[in-house]
Chains A and B, each alone.
Chain A
Amino acid sequence: MAAITARISSFFGRVPRWVYIVAVLAFAIAFPMLEYFGLMQTLWLRVGTRALVYVLLAVGLNLVLGETGLLHLGYVAFFAVGAYTTAILSSPRFDIQWNFWVIIAIAMGLAMLFGFLIGVPTLRLRGDYLAIVTLAFGEITRMTLNNWEGLTNGPGGIPGIYPPQIFGWTVDSPAEFFYLLLVTVVIVVWLLNNLKNSRIGRAWNALREDEIAAHHAGVGPTRAKMLAVVMSSGIAGLAGAIFAYYQQFINPTYFLFMQSVIVVSMVVIGGMGSIPGAILGAVVLDTTPEIIRQTFTSWLPAAIGPDFLPGVQAAMQTEFDRYRMAIFGLVIVLMVVFRPEGLLPNKLWRREMHEEDPRELEKTGQHLFDFEEGTQDLEV
């Protein structure tokens, strides 16, 4: 079993990375066209669009959780800050429609400011304080949104958010939002990937691996962590701003603690500290419940007959949200048991390509693993 898995992953490992990138991008670009040509229900386009919002959140949180190793439990609060920025500045609520770019800048700037304010007291201290304070901040944010009726209209939320105008392009259909988000994801991922492969990304990783050693190697822990927290807050703000435009209506129930937990799960399941992992984790966790629902309510009944488990069908239709969380829990338990390192763990591709390629080893006469004392090293 292990041997088979190893061979499969070694095969996939030898495919150059750009092939994956091109394939994934090609699929993403073609995806809305499936709907346009009637090959796919609009439902799936909506699922895909929402998945892209989660992808933004997952790659953003990965910066803190995966790359820097800090537990952050209130990520949805920064998402909410971005979403309410859009809702307040581009809706009938105050009868204003500010420019898209200005709103994005304010959303990101505000989220980053909050990230900074939370970082100041917590990042100097040991790890767990950030988790506790972010958790509290998430709840405070939601309560503020619920109670500051003059600004947010409380639990009633803000309806009728105006669509964004980007260089004269009015973004107002699911397909257009899908493309807007896709471009955003590509830019954000490109920038984050550059950062990851730089002295700053290495400093984050070093802090995650061993903070004391990193500090002795000249990495200022507080500054580097602050940068990660502020940047990931900005990405959540950006995701929130676009999400509000897309959703056209938001209220505080979109920003429950559970959402933070879901994004954490996406990063963990994808593989902490791996950008492809975060992307895959977001897509898998966002689409799996929907796929299961469709399996029971439409695909299986269509294949087997409309009276296929009518009780399950009814339950899936009316009470799906409860099952959704159960499915999440199940996926997480399965992952922890069978693949704790995540779906696409950190650096898998690179290691596969460089170390496990037998030709490479032959060339250099090196073995995959360095041997312990008394065996290999003695002979050298």
Chain B
Amino acid sequence: MAEVILEVRSATKNFGGLKAVNNLSFDLHKGEIVSLIGPNGSGKTTTFNLITGLYEPDSGDILMQGESIAGLKPGQIYARGISRTFQMLRLFSNMSVLENVLVGMHGRTKANVIDCMFRTPRMRREEEASIVRAREILAMFPGRFPLARHTQPAASLSYANRRRLEIARALAGEPRLLLLDEPVAGMNPAESMEVMRQIRDLRDAGYTILMIEHDMNVIMGASDRVIAMDHGIKIAEGAPVDVANDPAVVEAYLGRRGADTAS
């Protein structure tokens, strides 16, 4: 097995009396795609928030490449090579498509205030390189971000393209680990398949990916491994087919669906 890149060790997060994430442990290995599944409210997004520093675990630890990142701020965790997208899109709506990607490079660029105020050669070189790289990243979504679209506000994009732009912005941080929160939510099947292929391409390019997903086709088609959660607890982990057929997982989904209908 490839080296471990991320270790979540007995992470717990409470909201009042609710254990949103309860004693959760798992490892991610370099270059794999792992899907995090579970009914709504099972703690998947909260797990992402713990890994990316939006919340600090109440107990337990999270290690990125062997070093603890629990309690670090999102910006510091980004600097360790973890980027993410959001379940509810969080783009910079009034900034252009290109600028959205450029912001993703903020922590990877160095020009200081003086450089920026006077546009020193050093700053201009860096800026040009950033723009070239940002356009490269946008070009990873063939046909979706033609040049004319780069200067449009992010708010003018279609829903699917906004999701793609979030992935592009996350990639701009040159992460080693990419966390995607429901990357195909709201997409039609053809678009879902396209994103799925792209996610596999990213893995083949060396990224490690942890994604939250509901779409069974995407989960089965893209993941190397699946972790299932319910009520904040890990209830199953393993190959996609095994987890999908795991009685506890079936139970969690069916049980929750029953409860949803009742309410």
Contacts and interface: CB of A to CB of B under 8 A. Distances in A.
Interface of A: 191, 194-195, 198-203, 205-206, 209-210, 212-221, 227, 231, 273, 346-347, 350-351, 354-355, 360-361, 364, 366, 368-374, 376-378, 380
B103 A214 contact: yes
- Specify which of A218, A366, A370, A372 lies most central, judged by the most chain B CB atoms within 10 Å of its CB: A218
Contacts of B186: 373
A358 B92 CA distance: 26
Given A215-B75, A351-B151, 6 more contacts: A209-B91, A212-B54, A212-B90, A220-B73, A346-B94, A366-B149
Instruction: State the majority secondary structure of interface residues on A.
Output: helix
Interface in B55-101: 73-75, 78-79, 83-84, 86, 90-96, 99
A82 B173 CA distance: 41
Given A199-B109, A370-B161, A373-B160, A220 B148 contact: no
B259 interface: no
Contacts of A374: 188
Contact of B173 (A218, A376, A378): A218
- Specify which of A212, A369, A370 lies most central, judged by the most chain B CB atoms within 10 Å of its CB: A370
Interface in B127-180: 127, 130, 143-144, 146-149, 151-153, 156-161, 169, 172-173
A364 B123 contact: no
B117 A378 contact: no
B72 to A, nearest CB: 11
A209 B157 contact: no
A218 B116 contact: no
B113 interface: yes
A88 to B, nearest CB: 29
B156 A369 contact: yes
Contacts of A273: 94
Contact of A199 (B94, B95, B105): B105
B102 A199 contact: yes
B158 A370 contact: yes
A368 B153 CA distance: 11
B47 to A, nearest CB: 15
B46 interface: no
A377 B186 CA distance: 13
A217 B169 contact: yes
B116 A200 contact: yes
A270 to B, nearest CB: 16
B127 A377 contact: no
Contact of A366 (B54, B146, B188): B146
Contacts of B35: none
- Specify which of B84, B109, B117, B118 lies most central, judged by the most chain A CB atoms within 10 Å of its CB: B117
A360 B151 CA distance: 12
Nearest to A364: B148
Given A366-B149, A370-B152, A198 B92 contact: no
Nearest to A203: B106
Interface residues of B, number: 59
A191 B117 contact: yes
A36 B257 CA distance: 83
B75 A218 contact: yes
B94 A372 contact: no
B221 interface: no
B119 interface: yes
A370 B92 contact: no
26 contacts: A194-B117, A200-B116, A205-B103, A206-B92, A206-B95, A206-B103, A213-B90, A213-B91, A214-B103, A216-B78, A217-B103, A217-B169, A218-B78, A218-B106, A231-B113, A346-B94, A350-B151, A354-B148, A355-B151, A364-B148, A366-B146, A366-B149, A368-B156, A374-B188, A377-B160, A380-B143
B125 interface: no
A370 B156 contact: yes
Contacts of A377: 158, 160-161, 191
A373 to B, nearest CB: 6
A212 B74 CA distance: 8
Nearest to B107: A218
Contacts of A380: 143-144
A36 B160 CA distance: 61
A370 B150 CA distance: 12
B195 to A, nearest CB: 12
A364 B147 CA distance: 8
A219 B103 contact: yes
- Closest A-B pairs by Cβ, 3 of them: A218-B107, A198-B116, A209-B92
Contact of B74 (A194, A215, A369, A371): A215
- Specify which of A199, A217, A347, A354 lies most central, judged by the most chain B CB atoms within 10 Å of its CB: A217
Contacts of A220: 73, 75
B232 interface: no
A321 B152 CA distance: 44
A221 B54 CA distance: 13
